[in-house]
Amino acid sequence: MSKLNLPTKQERHTRFGSIQPAAGTKPTSKELMTDLQNKPHDYLFALDAVGICEVKYPVNIPSSTSPTMQVSMAAFKMTTSLGRHSKGINMSRIMEQLEAYRQENWVMNLPTLANFTQELAARMQQTSAEIEVWFPWFYERISPALKKTGLQHSEAFIKISYEKDCPIKAEIGIKAAITTLCPCSKEISEYSAHNQRGIVTITAVPYDPINVNEDWKAMLLEAAESNASSMLYPVLKRPDEKKVTETAYENPRFVEDMVRLVAADLYEMESIQAFTVECRNEESIHLHDAIAKITFSKE
Ligand SMILES: Nc1nc2c(ncn2[C@@H]2O[C@H](COP(=O)(O)OP(=O)(O)OP(=O)(O)O)[C@@H](O)[C@H]2O)c(=O)[nH]1
């Protein structure tokens, strides 16, 4: 093939429609630019929350299980309140703060995220701030018969709510995948029973948000998995697969059974004040899913 005689990159851009920037009349230095967000007026209403979401950022996550320190990709929602006489917040400051924490190599847990939230409210000169963050948390999972190790993950969740002169509030959570085997199908069929992947979502309010001693991620995962027909495993050889299949048959669960059994475990956890448990089964004999949910407070 003969060699193409391409124009320069700049010439190519011009040919495809790029133009030179206009001279312009508006200021280009920051000091001379209007700060619209901080122009005082009566803007009719105060706001509960304004900020940014879908912010993907790497974070260091501590864990009681191996790997005990891991870098994960978190999705943040970060908001503050806004007074009636302020037009807008300075949104760039939220990302500035997140980047400053990253450069400090921070380890994200409940106390450090509580500090982050409180600092954000101060930086934005607002009375309240809220951070919600979801991140994949990885842990080693060993197969039930041949003890083969692989890495698995669940989605973990932290929400911190800061309000000036009030105690910090927190919510923790996990979204874990499990196997459920249908009790009805097992009961009525001559052999076999349909089973499916269930998604258990737990959110919980700890009594003392800053001093949750246990690795709450492991604690909530245990509540979801130990009540399922079977856990999921990354590596399964034939003896493992036999064990998993038979364990599921020995422990049939409806979605209703799942949320009630997980709720019982959470009820027994002394550090948890209130919780919500949802189970969604991706049904293997339908196109639709089966769902159940319970919300409970010990207060
Ligand atoms: N408040 C507000 N800001 C927005 C909106 N949409 C985009 N922006 C952001 O406005 C930002 C620039 O504003 P600021 O953060 O106030 O920038 P600045 O005033 O130079 O920042 P400071 O030096 O911290 O005062 C950009 O990061 C945009 O992302 C919006 O709907 N509301």
Tell me the pLDDT tens digit for each residue of 35-94: 888 889 999 999 999 999 999 999 999 999 999 999 999 999 999 999 999 999 999 999
Residue 91: its pLDDT value, please?
A: 96
Q: Give the span between the Cα atoms of 140 and 226, in whole angstroms.
A: 16
Domain ranges of the chain: 39-297
Question: Quick check: ipTM above 0.90?
Answer: yes
Q: Which percentage of the chain shows pLDDT scores above 70?
A: 100
Which among 91, 99, 125 is the best mutation to test ligand 1's pocket, defined by most ligand atoms within 8 Å of the CB?
Answer: 91
State in Å: Cα 134 to ligand 1 middle: 24
Pocket of ligand 1 contains residue 93 by CB under 6 Å: yes
For atom 4 of ligand 1, which residue has the closest CA?
A: 91
User: What pLDDT is attached to residue 288?
Assistant: 97
Query: What are the tokens at 293?
Result: 């949910």
Which ligand 1 atom sits closest to the C-alpha of 87?
1
User: Phi, psi (5° rounding) for residue 109?
Assistant: -145, -175
Task: Check pocket membership of 95 for ligand 1, CB cut-off 6 A.
Answer: no
Prior bond of 67 cis (ω within 30°): yes
**Residue 37: CB within 6 Å of ligand 1?**
yes
Quickly tell me which residue has 């932290």 as its tokens: 158
Q: Please, which pLDDT band fits residue 159 given cuts at 50, 70 and 90?
A: very high
Question: How far is residue 284's CA from residue 221's CA, in Å, rounded to a whole number?
Answer: 24
- Rounded to an integer, the average pLDDT of 238-252 is 98
Domain at 39-297, CATH homologous superfamily: Urate Oxidase; (3.10.270.10)
Identify the pLDDT of residue 275.
98
What pLDDT sits at residue 214? Answer: 74
Residue 135 CA: distances (Å) to CA of 31, 70, 75, 205: 39, 11, 6, 18
What is d(CA 156, CA 298) in angstroms, rounded to the nearest whole number? 23
- In Å, the largest CA–CA distance within the chain is 82
Whether ligand 1 lies within 6 angstroms of the CB of 90 is answered as yes
